[in-house]
């Protein structure tokens, strides 16, 4: 085939290298996430190694010193912490989830446009408040302010095991921490869902309206299904944030040393892994740090499991 006959198909397209490089970078960034996570995992694993491969008597002694002699095995130490972490995070997510979706819908579909823009700013503002300030506010303002409410709850709904009284005063409890964490994760869910709800194709919304759907029915038919994947992602991010939150929990919660409890209105019932690490790390010796990092490793694994399960469930639900 002479060059003149060569169809234009063979004309090299400009930007091919850029295309390849770009793809390469995108791939590399994807892989980088894997590498970083593997590095974090290995780091945790090696720092926690003395727990497994080290002198078990010394381990027991270290853990005893953490717990005032109540517990000396690693599992006895970490499982209650894990329980508390999950309890706090799940409560926070439960509170935040519905409120967030509500606000996101309010902004995307209920409020008039001007108001909605203003409200969007408000939510961004909420997202912009740093966690140390939430810690300060939670510890200094919310704790005394919320006591009458929780006290009322304990007195009137105390039959429900979660709300068993008497409500601690000051309210440095799981319930209060969950509220603060809920406020902290709320903007994450809200902001992401709002952005997605706003993108719901108007074709689909009109399809619903055209069938005589009320606004709420339209939302159920068109907006929520469209936003589902985004809502799930946002909730997972929020849950991760709640699981890993350190400072706010540390500054508000009155922790327990060991033990499992659902009594969220009483003080010193539960503790969370991240804040426990922050509380113990500054004064911990080498072995102590290993124990703490071991608890971090467990949190890491649990986050993995929670996400894995959540993913499987949503996959099933959407299949």
Partner 1 sequence: MGQRIDVNHENIYYGDFLAVEDVNINIEANKVTAFIGPSGCGKSTVLRTLDRMHELIPGARVEGEVLLEGKNLYDKDVDPVSVRRDVGMVFQRPNPFPTMSIRENVLAGVRLNNKHISKSDADDLVEWALRGANLWNEVKDRLDNPGIGLSGGQQQRLCIARAVAVHPQVVLMDEPCSALDPISTLAVEDLINELKSDYTIVIVTHNMQQAARIADYTAFFNLKAVGQPGHLEYFADTTTMFNNPQNDEAERYISGRFG
Partner 2 sequence: MDGAPVIDFDKFRVKPSTEKRRKAKDLFMAGLIALAFVIACLPLISVLYTTIKNGIKRLNLNFLTYNMTGVIGGNQTPSGGYGGVLHAIIGTLEITGGAMLISIPIGVMCAVYLVEYAHGGKLAMTISLLVDVMSGIPSIVAGLFAFSMFTIAFGPGTINGFEGSVALSLLMLPTVVKSCEEMLKIVPNDLREASLALGVTKQRTITKIVLRTALPGIVSGCILAIARVIGETAPLLMTAGFIASTNVNLFSGQMTTLPVYVYQEYSKLSANCPANADATCVTTIPMERAWAAALVLIIVVLVLNLIGRLVAKVFAVKTER
Partner 3 sequence: ATVAACGDNTASTSSSSTSTDASKTAPVTGNYQGAGATSQQAATEAWIAGFEAANDGAKIAYNPTGSGAGVTTFLTGATAWAGSDKALSDDDLAKSKAVCAEGEAFDVPVYISPIAIVFNLKGVSDAGKHINLDAATAAKIFDGKITKWNDPAIADQNKDLTLPDTAITVVHRSDKSGTTQNFVSYFKDAAPDAWTYDLSENWPNEVGQGAKGTSGVISTVKQADGTIGYADFSQVGDLGTAAIKVGDKYNEISAEGGSKVIEDSPLDDSAKGDNRVVVKINHSTTADGAYPIVLVSYDIVCPAYKDAKQGAFAKAWLTYVTSAEGQKAAQDAAGSAPLPSSLTEKVTKSIEAIKTK
Residues forming contacts to partner 3 in the complex (CB under 8 A) are 64-69, 139-140, 143-144, 147, 168-170, 172, 250-251, 253-257, 259, 267-268, 278-286, 288-289
Among the listed ranges 13-21, 42-50, 127-135, 172-180, the one in contact with partner 1 (CB under 8 A) is 13-21
Q: Does 313 bind partner 1 (CB under 8 A)?
A: no
Site residues (CB under 8 A) for partner 2, limited to 39-68: 39-40, 43-44, 47
The counts of H helices and E strands in the chain are 14, 0
Site residues (CB under 8 A) for partner 2, limited to 169-208: 183, 186-188, 190-192, 195-196, 199, 201
How does 203-222 read in b/e, with b if 16+ C-beta sit within 10 Å? eebeebbeeebeeeebbebb
Distance between CA atoms of residues 283 and 176, nearest Å: 27
Q: Does 240 bind partner 2 (CB under 8 A)?
A: yes
Q: Does 26 bind partner 1 (CB under 8 A)?
A: no
258 burial type by CB count under 10 A (0-12 exposed, 13-18 middle, 19+ buried): middle
Residue 222 contact among partner 1, partner 3, partner 2, none, beta carbon within 5 to 8 Å by kind? partner 1
Q: How would you classify residue 112: left for phi > 0, otherwise alpha for psi between -120 and 50, otherwise beta?
A: beta
Q: Does 308 bind partner 2 (CB under 8 A)?
A: yes
Q: Does 133 bind partner 2 (CB under 8 A)?
A: yes
Distance between CA atoms of residues 202 and 195, nearest Å: 14
The neighbour count for residue 83, using CB atoms within 10 Å, is: 17
User: Taking CB under 8 A as the rule, which mask of x and - marks residues 86-125 in contact with partner 1?
Assistant: ---------------------------x------------
């Amino acid at each position: 085939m002479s060059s003149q006959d060569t169809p234009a198909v063979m004309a090299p397209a400009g930007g091919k290298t850029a295309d390849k490089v770009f793809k390469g970078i995108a791939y590399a960034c994807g892989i980088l996430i894997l590498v970083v996570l593997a590095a974090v995992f290995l780091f945790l694993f090696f720092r926690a190694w003395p727990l497994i491969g080290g002198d078990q008597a010394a381990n027991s002694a270290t853990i005893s010193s953490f717990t005032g002699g109540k517990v000396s095995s690693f599992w006895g130490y970490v499982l209650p912490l894990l329980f508390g972490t999950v309890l706090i995070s799940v409560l926070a997510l439960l509170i935040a989830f519905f409120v967030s979706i509500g606000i996101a819908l309010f902004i995307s579909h209920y409020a008039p446009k001007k108001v909605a823009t203003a409200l969007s700013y408000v939510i961004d503002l909420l997202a912009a408040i740093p966690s140390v300030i939430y810690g300060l506010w939670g510890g200094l303002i919310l704790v005394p302010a919320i006591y009458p409410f929780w006290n009322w709850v304990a007195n009137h709904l105390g039959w429900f095991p979660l709300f068993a009284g008497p409500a601690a005063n000051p309210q440095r409890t799981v319930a209060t921490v969950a509220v603060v964490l809920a406020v902290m994760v709320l903007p994450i869910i809200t902001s992401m869902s709002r952005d997605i709800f706003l993108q719901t194709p108007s074709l689909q919304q009109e399809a619903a309206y055209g069938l005589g759907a009320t606004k709420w029915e339209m939302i159920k038919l068109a907006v929520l299904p469209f936003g589902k994947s985004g809502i799930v992602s946002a909730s997972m991010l929020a849950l991760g944030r709640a699981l890993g939150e350190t400072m706010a929990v540390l500054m508000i919660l009155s922790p327990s040393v060991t033990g499992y409890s659902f009594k969220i209105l009483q003080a010193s019932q539960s503790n969370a892994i991240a804040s426990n690490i922050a509380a113990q790390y500054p004064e911990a010796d080498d072995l102590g740090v290993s124990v703490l990092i071991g608890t971090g490793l467990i949190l890491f694994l649990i986050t993995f499991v929670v996400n894995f399960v959540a993913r499987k469930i949503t996959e099933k639900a959407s299949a």
